[in-house]
Chain A
Amino acid sequence: MLRLLKKTLLTGIVTEKIKAPTNDELEQLGIEIKRHIDKKFSGSIAIREVDAGSCNGCELEIHALNNPFYDIERFGIHLVASPRHADVLLVTGPVSRHMQTALLRTYEATPNPKWVVAAGDCAACGGEFGISYASCGAVSNVIPVDVVIPGCPPTPLALMKGLLGLMKN
C-alpha cells in the first residue's frame, strides 16, 4: 500500500495544464468544451461509443481520452455503458453490414435529443474500406450524423476538437 501511495505521490499530477508543450491547446480546448457543456447540458454530457466496424485503431485513441494526460471527465464528458444513458453516440468504423441493424437499434435506444459524431476517416467517408457487399461505408449512410472527425485514427486532441465542434453547433 505504501508503495502505491509513494508511486502515486512521486508521479504527481500529469494531467496537462496550460504550460505543457502543445497542450495549452488541450487545456484551452477543455475549458471551452466545459463552458459549452455547462451552458447546454447543465454540466455534463454522456457519450456512448459504438464500434460499427472499425479496425480498432480509433478505439485505441478514444481510450486514450481517459488516460491521465487528457482525463476528459474533468471537462464533464463521460463515456457511458449504455445508449440509454447517452446524449451523444460516438461512432467509429465504416458500418459493416453485419453491424447495420445493431447500429440502428443503438441509435433508436438513445433518448432524444441526441447527437451523432462520426469519428475517423472510415466513419466519415468509408475510409480504406468504402462501400461493398460487406460494408455500408460512412456512418451517415446509416444514421444521421451531426459532426465528423477525420483522421486515421483521429488523435485524442483531434477527438476533443471534434467534440467541441459539436457543442458549438
Chain B
Amino acid sequence: MNSTTANWQTAFFNQLVLKGCVVERISIASAMLWQIESRDWQLFAEQGLEEQLRWVAGWAEHNQSQFLVNACFEKQGLYLWLRTIITAEKPELPSQATVYPAASRSERHTRDMFGIEFIGHPDDRRWTRHKAWSENSYPLRKDFPVQGTPDHITPPDMDYPFVKSHGTGVYEIPVGPVHAGIIEPGHFRFQAVGELILNLEERLGYVHKGIEKIAEGRVPVSLARLAGRISGDTTVGHAWAACMAMEQAAGISIPPRAAFLRGILAERERVANHLGDMGAICNDVAFIFAQMQFTRIRELWLRTNAQLFGHRLLMDRIIPGGVACDLTDTGCALIRQDIVRLRNELADILMAVDLNSTLEDRLYTAGYLAPELAAAYGAVGYVGRASGQRFDVRKDAPYAPYDQISFKVAVEAQGDIASRFWVRNKEINSALKLIEKFIDLLPPGDIMTAWREPLAGSESLAAVEGWRGEIVSYVRFEADNKIARFYSRDPSIINWPALEKLVLDNIVPDFPVCNKSLNGSYSGNDL
C-alpha cells in the first residue's frame, strides 16, 4: 500500500484537528496508522463520510488489559488505518455503524467475539454467535480456550429476533440453512405479498469455524494454508493477502518472478470462478445450454491448472516468501494456447447467449442495485463494478506485478443482473490479457525468498483484489514466528448486505438468480 500522505489525507487530518480530534500518526510496515481517542471514534466516521471515504474493514484485538479496535478506510486508492485503544474493564466506544451501514455487521461480530460494546449501534442483535458459546463468553479474548466449553449437541438458533411484518396478505418464507442445491448453508427470511419480495433478512454464521481463533499460534506456512481455506473458491486470493501481510510484517520482499507467478495464479482463479458463475446464472433462469458450455470450458481450465500447477483449484500454491510452483516454457506455451481456445469458445457461446431473448427477459432490470446504494454500502468487486463503482485494488492501490503493467478495469452502469453477468465477461477478457502480459514479462530467477522471523509485535495490513473483489488481511506476530492475531475481510462481508436491497420488489422465484449474480461466500463471511 502507498504510505505517502496524499493531499486528501493532509487536508482531512487538519479537518479532524479542527474538530478537536487528537490524531497520532504512526508509520507501520506498509501503511499509515492513525490512532485516536475512543470518544472520537464516531466523530471520525462522520468526518470520513463527509470526506467520502469508503469504509473497508473493522476488527479488534485483545491485549492483556486492553482492546485495540481497528477500522480501515479508503479513498482514491489510499488506505487509512484507524485505531483506538480501550480498557478491558470498560470495553465500549461509540459506533461507526450509525454513519456507515457497511460497519454494522462487523461491529456486531466484534461485539460477539470480544464483548466490546458499540454505543448507539442501530442493531443490537447478535450476528456471528448462534448457540455454540454463551452470551457472556467471548471466543477471541485471550483467556477463552480454543476448545471452548461446547454442549454435546449445539442447539439450533431458534430465537433469533427476525424483523416482522404484518398486514393482509403478507406472509413469511423461511429458507435454509440447508438449501435445495449444492450450495453453502445460510438462512434467508423473506416477507412477501403474492410473489413480490417486501423484505429479506439474511442470517449467516452457520459455517463459522473459528478461523480467527485457530489462526493464533500458527507459524506462517500454516497460516497460509488456513487462509487458503477461508473460502475455497478464493484460495489464491486469501493466501496471497495473508502472505503479503506476513511478508510486510517480516520485512521481506518476494522475488519478481514469484510476484508474476502469483499474478498468473490469481487471474486464473478469477477466470475459473467467473466461468462458473456465468454458467450458474444461466442455469438459474433455466438456460441449460449455456450452463453446460460454461461448465465444460471451466473444467478444461481446471485441468490445465492441475497439469501445470498440481492442483485444480490452485490451493497452497502461494506460500510465505513466494510460490510453491514454477512455470516452464512449455507450460507458458500451453497457457497461451489455452487462452486462444478459450477466447474462441467464449465468442461462440456469448453470441448465442446474447441473442437469446429469454435470457434478456430474465436478466435485464432484475436485481437492480442503484449506484448510490452500491456506493453507500461500499460494494466491491464485480458487484460494485456492475453498479458503477470503479474501485479495483489492482488498479488503484497496485502491488506487484500489477504495478508494472497497464490494464482497463471493466465497469458497467445499469446495476442489474445482466450487468453483473456482462461485467464478469469483461473481467475474464481483461484477466486473459493480463495472463498473457505476465507470461511475456515473466522475469527469470528464484520463486522464493527465505523467511526471516519477524520481531514480536510486528504487524501489517495488506489488500489484494481477489476474484470477488478487495480482500484485506491483517496480521500481528508474537515471539517465535507465531501469529498473535489474524483477520481477513472477504469481499462477501461487504457485498452480502447489498443482496437484501437488490432483491426488493423482485419476485420470490427470481431470488436464486439474484443471489447467484452476487454470489457471496458464506464461509468467507462467517470465518
Contacts and interface: CB of A to CB of B under 8 A. Distances in A.
Interface string A50-91: 111111111111111011110000000001011100000000
Interface stretch (A27-35, A38-46, A124-132, A161-169): A124-132
A132 B207 contact: no
Contacts of A93: 207
Interface in B256-289: 276, 289
Contacts of B312: 61, 155
Nearest to B355: A3
A49 B523 CA distance: 17
B293 interface: yes
B133 interface: yes
Given A99-B207, A101-B155, A102-B178, A133 B132 contact: yes
A132 B147 contact: yes
Contacts of A133: 132-133, 139, 144-150, 210, 213
A67 B157 contact: no
Contact of A134 (B132, B182, B184): B132
In the A-B complex, list the 4 residue pairs whose CB atoms are closest, starting with the nearest.
A57-B232, A133-B148, A134-B210, A97-B132
A85 to B, nearest CB: 11
Interface of B: 130-133, 139, 144-150, 153-157, 177-178, 180-185, 205-211, 213-214, 225-226, 229-233, 235, 276, 289, 292-293, 295-296, 298-299, 302, 306, 312-313, 315, 348-349, 351-352, 355-356, 521-523, 526
29 contacts: A3-B355, A4-B352, A7-B349, A8-B289, A49-B182, A52-B185, A53-B206, A53-B209, A54-B523, A56-B521, A56-B522, A59-B232, A60-B276, A63-B295, A68-B296, A82-B180, A83-B178, A93-B207, A98-B206, A99-B177, A101-B154, A102-B178, A104-B153, A106-B178, A128-B229, A131-B147, A133-B146, A133-B149, A135-B209
Nearest to A63: B182
Contacts of A64: 295, 298-299, 302
A89 to B, nearest CB: 11
Given A63-B276, A133-B139, 17 more contacts: A51-B185, A60-B232, A62-B182, A68-B299, A94-B209, A97-B154, A98-B157, A99-B185, A101-B154, A101-B155, A102-B178, A102-B185, A131-B147, A133-B148, A133-B210, A135-B210, A152-B229
Which of A8, A59, A96, A152: most chain B Cβ within 10 A?
A: A96
A28 B366 CA distance: 45
